[in-house]
Amino acid sequence: MLENADLGKLIIRLTLGGLMLFHGIAKLLHGVGFIEGELASHGLPTFLAYGVFIGELIAPLMVILGYQTRIGALLIAFNMVVAIVLVHSQQLLSLGGSGGWSLELQGFFLFTAIAVVFLGPGRYKLKN
């Protein structure tokens, strides 16, 4: 039977990091105005919006490259908790239009990042 846990960890890292990186690139290209608005509506300083670049650009690159992978995954998980609290808390227990959980994407990012924290990078990584 074919078994390669390290290849599986690499696939999970590339998927999590790659998909999250697209969100970071979008914010880099279009700005963080939406996030600033959400922070302001919760009485928080708007400069915190720039933290999204850590959670959606730097951390995904860390995860993809396997450099300080657990720290990068923890940063992604924290980023997702903040996103859920600020923007999606009213959807936490609701179903989407196609019958799935309204927060499937956010849940995928959050729980996959937590899994990577526990799994580590595997063998296929940058040496650190």
Other beta carbons less than 10 A from residue 39's beta carbon: 19
Residues 56 and 27 sit within 8 Å (Cβ to Cβ): yes
Q: Is the pLDDT of residue 86 over 90?
A: yes
The rounded distance, in Å, linking the Cα atoms of 44 and 99 is 34
The single-letter DSSP state of residue 101 is B
Please state which of the ranges 18-27, 79-88, 91-100 shows the lowest mean pLDDT: 91-100
| Phi, psi values for residue 32, rounded to 5° | -115, 25
CA-CA distance, 90 to 106, in Å (whole number)? 13
* pLDDT score of 128: 62
Residues 6+ apart with CB under 8 A from 98: none
* Domain extent listing, the chain: 5-119
pLDDT band at 106 (very low <50, low <70, confident <90, very high): very high
Rounded distance, CA 103 to CA 111, Å? 12
Extract long-range pairs of 102-107: CB within 8 Å, 24+ residues apart: 106/80
Instruction: Supply the mean pLDDT for the chain.
Output: 94
- Which of these, 24, 110, 128, 5, lies nearest to 69 by C-alpha position? 128
Q: What is the pLDDT of residues 22-69, one digit of tens each?
A: 999 999 999 999 999 999 999 999 999 999 999 999 999 999 999 999
